[in-house]
Amino acid sequence: MTSAFSPAVTATAPAKINLILRVGAPDESGYHPLVTVFQAVDLWDEVAIVSADADSLVIEGAGNLSGVPTDRTNIVWKAVDALAHVRGLREPLAITITKTIPVAGGMAGGSADAAATLVALNELWQVGLTSPQILDMAATLGADVPFSLLGGTALGEGRGDLLTPLIRQQPLHLVVVTAPLELSTPRVYKTLDDLRAEGQGTLTPLSSSELDVVIGDDVGELIGVLSNDLQPAALKMAPIVQKNLDVLSEAGALAHLVSGSGPTVFGLCVDATHVADVANFLLQRGFSATPTTSTPLGARLTSSLSSAREAH
């Protein structure tokens, strides 16, 4: 039970897609080195945290949320423990996650929740960590959590946690199409390994010309560099993904790609009018389609401790 005078602090973090995702062969520990271009998109999960008498976690939002754990296996508790370790004190918390990002859809929803938790709890507990310090902590939680904090556009290397920010000159217009199933990211990587012949998986760095295309304003050129090494594995595991890619093409999207490990896919469009036309085409045919744009933002506070107190 929370006190009537306990202020809640809220933070949000965006979904991500991978404009480019190159996957190397697994190393001795089983992890796959990556070369990727992350792009944050304007779909957000919100995390609200308040001091309480006992820990609790509530998941809200539209769609099927059954795949989101509410016990200690949820990554937000890992974020709580990491910050409590630095603070030197652990107090019970009531956490509410309001989800917009598709669950297990290859758009880093869990990582976004962890990033928002770090930002909100750093404020609630007044730990005083700087942005670089929070970024370092995020890397201990999961490979995509640092990007969820950073947002915008970034080159990711290593396990995806070694980030180089990139500045896109123009927003991207996208349609996201979800599937009524979940794909386990580890299983997708394992399927990729099974599909590859012996010796495959050499990792090629992005060239300077490819990076120029990524940050440029020519959508036509961007089509030529979009790629995802995990796409064949996602298609093998979930044939419905191919159906969603095909309907994006039928709807007139300039290009389409599986997002991360899938099963969510996205279509690239010219502008807001084109996005609306593509999304309407899909919605009229019963597909789950969401128009969106890229965003330069990452995880951020939406309600600070002072504003929460003023609200009381």
Q: What is the DSSP secondary-structure string of 237-265?
A: H-THHHHHHHHHHHHT-SEEEE-TTSS-E
> How many other CB atoms are found less than 10 A from the CB of residue 73?
8
Give the start-end residues of each E strand in the chain.
8-23, 34-51, 56-61, 93-99, 153-158, 162-166, 173-178, 227-228, 255-258, 265-269, 288-293, 300-303
Instruction: Tell me if residue 144 is catalytic.
Output: yes
DSSP 270: S
Instruction: Tell me if residue 16 is catalytic.
Output: yes
Residue written as token pair 């969510």: 264
Q: Which of 256, 259, 303, 300 is nearest to 282 (CA)?
A: 256
Among 45, 113, 144, 229, which one carries the catalytic annotation?
A: 144
In contact, 35 and 205? CB cutoff 8 Å? yes
Query: And the tokens for 249?
Result: 């093409």
In contact, 13 and 115? CB cutoff 8 Å? yes
Query: And the tokens for 9?
Result: 């602090």
Q: Which of 110, 245, 244, 257 is nearest to 184 (CA)?
A: 110
Among 16, 113, 161, 229, which one carries the catalytic annotation?
A: 16
Per-residue burial over 107-134, b if 16 or more Cβ lie within 10 Å, else e, is bbbbbbbbbbbbbbbbbbbebebeeeeb
Instruction: Point out the residues that are catalytic.
Output: 16, 144
